[in-house]
Each structure stands twice: as C-alpha cells, then as structure tokens.
Structure 1
Amino acid sequence: MIGLREREGRLMKNNSHSLLISIIVTTVIIGVLIGCILLFYFPNDFFVSQSITSIRLLPFAGPKTQENSTECESKTVALLSDKNAELKKQLRELTERLRIAEQGKDQTEKEFLALVKQEKAGPFGTVKALRTNPIVAPDESVNPRLANLLEKIAVKREIIVTLANSNVKEILEIWFTNIKRVGIPNYLVVALDDEIAKFCESNQVPFYKRDPDNGIDTVGKIPNGEAVSSLKFRILREFLQLGYSVLLSDIDIVYLQNPFDHLYRDSDVESMSDGHNNMTAYGYNDVFNDPGMGWSSGVFTRRIFVYNAGFFYIRPTIPSIELLDRVAARLLKEKAWDQVVFNEELFHPSYPGYDGLHAAKRTMDIYLFMNSRVLFKTVRNNANLSKLKPVIIHLNYHRDKLTRMKAVVEYYVNGNQDALKPFPDGTPR
C-alpha cells in the first residue's frame, strides 16, 4: 500500500511539474508573439511611450490564468490595430497634401512658361541672340534734385554729360558753343566747383552742381585730370539709376553733328575707339611666334585697340551699372588710368577666380566718331576721307588741345581748307 501511494504521489508530482512547464512555455511563446507584433508596428517609439503604460495596466497573467492571457493579447492587438489605422489615415492625408502641392508646383511652372516667350531655333543662318539687356526701373529716390533737372532737359531719356572745373574754362567754351551750334538740346555740365557753375549760368548752359558729399566734391577743386576721371564713374551711376542713357563726353571734343542720330542703342556700352584704322579699331589677328615650339611656333591672337573712356554711350542696364561700380571701386584702391581699368573690366573674360562682366558692347564708326590721330595722320592727307563730315572729333591724342580744337572748327565749320596744315601729326615731346 505504501509503495502504491508513493508511486501515485510521484506520478501526480510529475504531472504537476509537466503542466507547470507547459504553462511557462506557452506564456513565453505568447510574450514573444506580442513583442514581435509591437516591434513590427512600432519599431522606434512604442515601448517608450504609450505601450509601456498600456502593458503595465494589463492584469498579470499567472501560470493558471491562460484565459486572462488570451484576453490581454486580444486587447493589445486591438490597441495596435487602432493605432495602425490612425497612422494610415495620417499617411493618406500627408500623401494627399503632397499631391496637391505637386499639382500647384506644376501649375506655377506652366504659368511661368506661358509668360516667357519660348522660341524654336530657326533654319541655319537665321538665328540671332538677344543684343540688348532690359533697362532698370527708374529710382528717383537716389537723387530727386537731379531727377527733376533731367526731366526738363533730357530728350527720350538720353543726355550728353561732361564734368568740368574752373581749370578748363576755355576748352569747355568751345565744347558747349559747338553743341549749341549743332542744335543739341539735351546736354549737361556737371560743375565741380562754384566758378564753373557761375560760368555755365552766365552762358545759359545747363549745369548741375553736386551737393557736398563727405568731401568728394573737393575733387573738382584739384587740378588733376585723373582725380576728375575717377569721380565721373560714381556720378554716372546716379544718372543710370534714374533711368537715363548717358553719352559721356570729355570736354576736348568738337561736335559737328548730333550724335544721337548715329547711335545703334543695341548694346550696354557703345564707345569710340582709340584705333586708327579698321584693323586696330575693330580687331585683327596678331601672330605670336615662338620658334622653339617647332611645328606649332605660330599662335594666333586677337587684338583690338582700347575703347576711349572719354566718349561712350551707356544704357541704364544692370551690366552697365555693374561696370561703373567695378571701375569706381578699383580706382578708389588703385593708382591707375581710368581708361585702362574701364577696358579691363569691359573685356576681360571669366576665368578661375574671376567673374567677367556680362555686358554687350559696340565699337563706334571711327570716321564718324573720330579721334585726333585718325584726323591728323590719315583723314587730312586723304582726298576722299577729307570730304567726310564726322559727328565728333576727339582731341585725345594731342596735348595742344585748345589750338587744335579751334583749327578743327575752322576746317569743318568755317571751311578753311588750310586750317589743319600747320600741325604735325603728333604733339612734340
């Protein structure tokens, strides 16, 4: 009996032990399953937020409460399903917003393209790029007094401008006398001192006297041509900002025709050349020779004589204003000739470390807008060319400007055919 009871006891103990192991294994499997479900739907943040609170609120599933464990699992799955449905709803809303935004972007691009005229390339030889940059919007706030003056004297928003001080009164008189004779109404003298302002007023010449500006106007009292040259680029900027095209003129120029009748107006800058013939004025090939290179010893270069910074037409465009800013900025820092800086900024291409100026430019006809080298070395000695009537003659190549200007007037205005003969080709050293 005792042995039988012992065997029954051991059997019951073994059964209880097996049942306990089964319950533990089942619980572990259910826990792993729940963990996998949670990890699948909320891989990042579920365990550190709402899930922890939710799981802690679930009743404890002991070894003998398998039904409670199943109920807990059902609640967890239901909670996850609700969360998943909410996330899907938010995703759909975000997707719809993105779709609407993309539609708006496409519509904006279509509207923009509709405003911009798109052209197909034409047949070979018929395609031409744009030549003229758009002008800037006038900004009268930069100088209301000058804006009011230009409104009265400019013609078609164009004007001839020169700078002068009291050291050049005689040359200035020849300058404005011939402008008046030709009948040019739209010209202006920027008076750099009080004496020249009074001189212009007494001769009924339109003038503009600048207000003192941190001592800058004292440049006009210095008998230094280079100082005046550096100032003119800063002054010109105001004219362009006001929306006016300017024909910048030195005073050593004799006007024989109205220059506005001979401009193309298809570029940012239209300038007379220091060249003395078609090659030097409009460009030519110059071969550089290096015998040590053998077969490739000859290298072709393209050369052009510089533009004259004392007579050029400049339109109120962004590239034009950038040109004036670049030149003025360099002249404030460097001891340089303004004409050299003007040409460097206008012609230097972009290269590593430097962004070139994107400005359109045109060279004026050298026999209409004539420099004094062309006149005294070529034209006066050529029977055919001497019959031409230039628009202007710039005495830039000679130091005896006053006497030669008077001779030019005698020759072209008064018809004295011998007026130019006494002068040598150049100015004696």
Structure 2
Amino acid sequence: MGGRRDGPLMRSNEKGRRSRIAAAIAIGVVFGCVFALLYPHGLFVSTPLHSIASKSYLQFNLSSCESSERISMLKSEYVAAYKKNAELKKQIQELTGKLRLAEQGKDNAQKQVLVLGEQQKTGPFGTVKSSRTNPTVVPDVSANPRLAKILEKVAVNRELIVALANSNVKNMLEVWFSSIKRVGIPNYLVVALDEEIANLCRHNNVPVYERDPDNGIDLVGRTGGNHAVSGLKFQILREFLQLGYSVLLSDVDIVYLQNPFEHFHRDSDVESMTDGHDNRTAYGYDDVFDEPSMGWARYAHTMRIWVYNSGFFYIRPTIPSIELLDRVSDRLSRGKAWDQAVFNEELFFPSHPGYDGLHASRRTLDFYLFMNSKVLFKKVRKDAHLSKFKPVIIHINYHPDKLSRMKAVVEYYVNGKQDALKSFPDGSDW
C-alpha cells in the first residue's frame, strides 16, 4: 500500500494559517500591555466603603474650615459695607439739605449774580433800577437747635414777633400780648428773662422761650431795666437771624391794633418805625445851617432825619443785618451807650477815613400806621379826621407813664371810649 502525500497547495495554506494565528497572538499581547499600562486596576474597580468615608470626612473637615473662615470674612465685609452705607446716607442727607436750601434762595442768588457777577447794559431813561433786596442767609440750625424747634412751630412764613421781658415789665407785657391775641396774630414769641415771666406766659398760653439760665448775658436780663434789656436784645436777636427767620423786634410798651405783617415791604434789610412826627422829620429834609461870619457862603445845607426806633423794627436774615447786630452788640459791650443811638449810627454813618460804613438797605415805616406816642398825643387825638384813623400799632415811647397810656389806647381804639385819651398831657410831667 502506498501512503497519502500532500500537495504543494495544502502546504501553502497551512503556512498562512499559522502566520495569522501568530499575528493575532502578537496583537493580543500588545493590546494587553497597553491596557495594563493604562488601567492598572482594571476597567471596573470597586472602591471600599471605608475609603469613601475617609475621603468624605477629609473633604467635610476642609469644607467646614473653609466655610467658617468664609463666613467670618463675609461678616467683616458686611459690617464694613454697612458703615460705608451709613456714611453715604449721611452725606446724601447733607447734600439734599444743602440743595433744598440752595433752591430756597435761588431767586435772591440769581438777583445777586445779576448785580455783582455780570456786567449789564443800561436800559432807556427812567427804567434803570438797582437791586435793594439782599439774599437771605443759609439757616444754621446748629446755632441753637432748641430754639429752632420752637420757631418751626411758632413762625409763619419764617417770620415772627419777638419781645424780651423780665418781671420789671410784667404788667405792660400782659397788655402787649393781650392786644396781639385780640388782633389774631399767631406768630409771636416772648423771650423770658426770668422764671416769673416764663410762668406768666405758660399760664396765659403765650409762646415762650427760656434761655440757658447759666448764660452770663442773662444776668443782665433778669435784673436790668429797660435800657439794659434793650442792649441785650441785639445779642439774642442774632440767633433768630442765624436760624433763617425774619424778626419783628418789639418792645412791650406797644399796643397792636392790626397785623403788622400785612404792611411790610420786605425789600430792605431793616424796616423801622421812626421817632419823627411829620413827613420832614420822619422821612428826611434839607436843614440849612446859617453861619453869618462866612459872608456869601453863610448858608450850608445839611440832610436831616429823625432816628429810627430801636424798640420796633423788622429785620431780615441777611449778612448786612447780622453785621449790624454784631456791630451794635460790640459797641454796647465796650462801654456805656444808648442802644438806639448806636443802632442809628451804624445804620446811617457812611464810610470815611478810618471807618467802613455798613452796607445795609433800610426803609422808614409810615409814621401814621406805625405810630409813636408823640404823634398820637400831640397831633392825632386833636384832629377830627386823623382820630378816626386806625393805626397798626401805637408805641408809647415818648412817655414814662407807659402802662396807663397803653390802657387808654385800648379803651379808645378797641372799646370806643372817645374821651379815653383826653386826660393826658402832651408830654410828661417829669
């Protein structure tokens, strides 16, 4: 028997098969090495529970520390931001207040700028007029916060009547505020210089302001007479103007028959009643001085006006007004002088070598409306026509028997008693 013999084709197929197997094995080994290198723990690795817990605990501790520090930092930032916000609010309030005050004085400021800040062309003949109304000051509440609160309640249109009084003028004060109440004037205030006057005002529902009893200047006010109190009023009045209020300064020897605020022009720093008794003395006149030894030049012309009464004047809160009060107070503090004389000198004396005059505008009030007692007793009561005229106020400034004449004025003008004024002499009996 002969054996089976494979042909060349079979041998060739066998070789190819072995080569493919070897290649597959080689590829498998290569892939295995790569996977072993990339995934040393295999594709699916289960982490032990204790390992997870340990890792979470560590992360929790780290997070807790970080959170605590973060909270502390945030608190510090919040406190700083809160303080900054409070400061900003305060600044905004201050700016808002300044803006409001600036808007209040806008009209006056614009007028002032027109006069002082810009050159202007003149208009046609007879049309040119200068500004006589000075702008009001910015109110300064810090000057007297307690008084500021009182004035907010008492004042009307930022103006009011103010009188200073101690127990020496108690009876006249009662006639004074009774006449104000009768007319229906709501905006008035008594500056009480002692406790007796303060109690009198409270008992009669009269608005009252008590100053600091430890203030040195009030020692004069508690015990002084009319002239001492008159000198004191200029110092006290300054605080009202600093707070931005217009004041009608009034002595207590005055009877009110109409509301004076309906008769002011408000175009000047000071509007005052006069001690004059006719048009010439009240409003000014040319007084000729005769000196015969000068021959051809014997006649010298002078301008005269009777003084303003420092016991009744309306004053606006302007820089010239406050300067006036400062000047008068300073001169009165440096020596004995009559406050009314000093008041007028500072208002009227012009600038001259060694002296700078006050640049304050002024207006003389109608002497029949704002009447002094000389006009009343020497002229008005004897004139059938004038005696029927009803003035705004009557000031018993020319006579020492003030209380009896004040009561007579009330009887004549209020109660209609026609002979109430007849028994009094024109002047005083000394």
Alignment TM class, shorter chain as reference? 0.7 to 0.9
Residues 408-427 of structure 1: matches in 2 within 5 Å? 408-427=409-428
**What is the aligned length?**
317
Name the amino acid aligned to 2:403.
L
CA distance in 1, matches of 2:295, 2:214: 61
CA distance in 1, matches of 2:353, 2:221: 39
Which residue of 2 is the match for residue 146 of structure 1?
147
Which digits, 9 at most, give the CA deviation of each residue in 1:58-87, with x for residues without a partner? Answer: xxxxxxxxxxxxxxxxxxxxxxxxxxxxxx
Q: Secondary structure at the match of 1:330?
A: helix
Residues 91-130 of structure 1: matches in 2 within 5 Å? 118-130=119-131
Residues 349-388 of structure 1: matches in 2 within 5 Å? 349-388=350-389
CA distance in 2, matches of 1:119, 1:176: 49
Which residue of 2 is the match for residue 243 of structure 1?
244
Please state how far the C-alpha of 1:146 moved relative to its aligned partner. 0.2
CA distance in 2, matches of 1:327, 1:220: 17
Which residue of 2 is the match for residue 401 of structure 1?
402
Q: Does the 8 Å CA contact 2:168/2:225 hold for their aligned counterparts?
A: no
Residues 207-286 of structure 1: matches in 2 within 5 Å? 207-286=208-287
Q: Percent identity, aligned pairs only? A: 74
Residues 49-88 of structure 1: matches in 2 within 5 Å? none
CA distance in 1, matches of 2:140, 2:248: 20
Name the amino acid aligned to 2:317.
P
Please state how far the C-alpha of 1:212 moved relative to its aligned partner. 3.1
CA distance in 1, matches of 2:119, 2:411: 56
Name the amino acid aligned to 1:245.
S
CA distance in 1, matches of 2:421, 2:333: 40
Name the amino acid aligned to 2:230.
S
Name the amino acid aligned to 1:409.
V
TM-score by length of 2: 0.72
Corresponding position: 1:199 with 2:196: no
Which digits, 9 at most, give the CA deviation of each residue in 1:133-161, with x for residues without a partner? Answer: 00000000000000000001100000100
Which residue of 1 is the match for residue 189 of structure 2?
188
Residues 213 and 319 of structure 1: is their aligned pair in 2 closer, same or farther, counting only changes over 3 Å?
farther
Q: Secondary structure at the match of 1:188?
A: strand
Which residue of 1 is the match for residue 347 of structure 2?
346
Name the amino acid aligned to 1:137.
V
Which residue of 1 is the match for residue 134 of structure 2?
133
Return 5+ residue gaps in structure 2 as ranges.
1-112
CA distance in 2, matches of 1:411, 1:402: 14
Please state how far the C-alpha of 1:214 moved relative to its aligned partner. 4.0
CA distance in 2, matches of 1:116, 1:318: 18
CA distance in 1, matches of 2:190, 2:215: 21
CA distance in 1, matches of 2:235, 2:215: 14
CA distance in 2, matches of 1:302, 1:116: 33
TM-score by length of 1: 0.73
Which digits, 9 at most, give the CA deviation of each residue in 1:369-410, with x for residues without a partner? Answer: 000000000001111111111000000000000000000001
**Higher Rg of the two aligned structures:** 2
Please state how far the C-alpha of 1:131 moved relative to its aligned partner. 1.0
Please state how far the C-alpha of 1:118 moved relative to its aligned partner. 5.0
- Across the aligned residues of Structure 1 and Structure 2, the Cα RMSD in angstroms comes to 1.3
Residues 214 and 201 of structure 1: is their aligned pair in 2 closer, same or farther, counting only changes over 3 Å?
closer
Please state how far the C-alpha of 1:132 moved relative to its aligned partner. 0.4
